[in-house]
Structure 1
């Protein structure tokens, strides 16, 4: 995994602020490859808080804040309802933060 401790802390704090303390977060994609360079940070989140009235806007706000804090592009997938096949794959192949 190519994330530093302070980056993981920033992710945890930002996601908790937007989607509730203790929300489950998985890192997946190229950021797991220690030999890869650059790239974005792909995150899958299962919120603990009730969904915001507009989940799209909440996801956009969280993603924007993460990009500002991490200085890297962030792709954020947030569960709403039953997990899709893509979400299950992110959990299976990803690493929980």
Structure 2
């Protein structure tokens, strides 16, 4: 996993702050492969809430992570807990690393 411990802690803390302590956050994509270089930070979050509310939280999380981690590409995918998973959700759940 190509995140520093400080980056991992910041992501977990900000996700819990915005989505609540029961939210699950996973790192997926190229950053899970130690042999690769570069790449954006792909995050998959599973949380309770209605779609409009989750979108507001997603935008807040993005802004807070940019402030804490610096100006870098961060992609966030939010899956409402209990909803039918999309292909991106299935991919993240299968290959992602829970932070």
Q: 3-state DSSP class of the match of 1:34?
A: coil
Gap regions ≥5 residues in structure 2: none
Using structure 1 for the length normalisation, give the TM-score: 0.86
Using structure 2 for the length normalisation, give the TM-score: 0.84
Q: 3-state DSSP class of the match of 2:22?
A: coil
Partner of residue 90, structure 2: 88
* Total equivalences in the alignment: 96
**Cα pair 1:31 1:42 within 8 Å, conserved:** yes
Gap regions ≥5 residues in structure 1: none
Residues in 2 aligned to 1:30 and 1:68: alpha-carbon distance in whole angstroms? 22
**Cα pair 1:2 1:31 within 8 Å, conserved:** yes
Q: CA deviation at 1:57?
A: 2.3
| Structure 1 runs, 4 residues or longer, greater than 6 Å off | none
